[in-house]
Amino acid sequence: MKVSKQVIFFLIAVSLVSGYVNANPCDDFNLLYLQIRDGEISRQDAVSKINELIPEVKKYFFDKGGKEYSNEEWVFPIKGYYTNSIGGTNGSGYNANDYDFFDGNKHGGHPAHDIFIADKNQDCIDDKTGNPVDLLSMSGGVVISLEKNWDVNSDIRGGNFIIIYETYSDALFYYAHNNTVNVSIGDIVKPGDKIGEIGRSGLNAYKSRSPTHLHISFFLINEGNIKPDNIYSDLLSAKTKN
């Protein structure tokens, strides 16, 4: 049966009005995360929406052939680099005090580890190899939010970020300050897959005082609440990829 253009436009209009444009729950989670980041949704509504979307995202993951990997199979997130590149002493860069996921872009604390690359002239090119540095997915999972076009005039702190939902732990991996993002929302990834290249995007990471680094966070999901968790020991035991 041939459908007229008028009917197609009508169906699109109905979808826009009703809010059911995105059949992919990963797209819906991306929109939700941007609302949280930009302070456009209440905590109560955000928690309720997370509870609604996570089971749908998990189903999408398995329907698309996604495979779970335990933390024993995780991979160090920067190709060609090792644990001696992690900032601080014995993981001291991690500080979850005053952090609240639902504070969005205005959050406090630093519930993350910064992993630095050799880039003295800050051009996002490895001083040792003369090439960009690959960002690797530490875990398996599905891409549920990202930014590819961060602008230097933006006050967004994460810059070009990637969020991957990791089904085995029911958690989120957050990779920030990337130069390029090489995945799309809804992509299924495995440990060690290239998902981007290390960079300097983000309000503070872009400034010359900041050495070029990856900012990596891990958040556990519990009944819609999202809490940071320290993965320093997992970084130390992760497999490295040259």
Q: How confident is the model over 151-171, as a mean pLDDT?
A: 97
Of 17-31, 63-77, 108-122, 215-229, the one with minimum mean pLDDT is 17-31
Residue 12 has pLDDT above 70, yes or no: no
Residue 167 within any structural domain of the chain: yes
- Which amino acid, 88? G
Q: What is the residue type of 60?
A: Y
pTM above threshold 0.85: yes
Backbone phi, then psi, for 165, in 5-degree steps? -85, 125
Q: How confident is the model at residue 7 (pLDDT cuts 50, 70, 90)?
A: very low
Long-range contacts of residues 65-68, Cβ cutoff 8 Å, at least 24 apart: 65/188, 66/140, 66/141, 66/142, 66/167, 66/188, 67/140, 67/190, 68/140, 68/167, 68/168
Q: Residue 222: pLDDT above 60?
A: yes
The pLDDT assigned to 127 comes to 98
Specify if 213 maps to a domain: yes
5 occurs within a structural domain? no
Taking the C-alpha atoms of residue 141 and residue 37, their distance in angstroms, rounded to an integer, is 22
Share of the chain above pLDDT 70, in %: 91
Instruction: Note the pLDDT of residue 183.
Output: 98
pLDDT of residue 11: 42
Residue 44 has pLDDT above 60, yes or no: yes
Provide the domain count of the chain: 1
Domain of 188 in residue numbering reads as 71-237
- Do residues 148 and 163 lie in contact, with contact meaning Cβ atoms separated by under 8 Å? no
Could you tell me if residue 20 is inside a domain? no
Q: Contact, 82 vs 240, CB < 8 A?
A: yes
Count other Cβ atoms within 10 Å, centred on residue 141: 29
pLDDT at 184: 98
- Rounded Cα–Cα distance for residues 214 and 113 (Å): 8
The answer for residues whose C-beta is within 8 angstroms of residue 100's C-beta and 6 or more apart is 107, 108
Flag whether 125 is in a domain: yes
Give pLDDT, residue 131: 98
User: What's residue 6's pLDDT?
Assistant: 52
Q: Look at residue 27 and tell me if it is in a domain.
A: no
In a domain, 93, yes or no: yes
Closest residue by Cα to residue 78 from 158, 192, 179: 192
CATH number at residue 186: 2.70.70.10
Mean pLDDT of 142-168: 97
Domain membership flag for residue 166: yes
Per-residue pLDDT at 203: 96
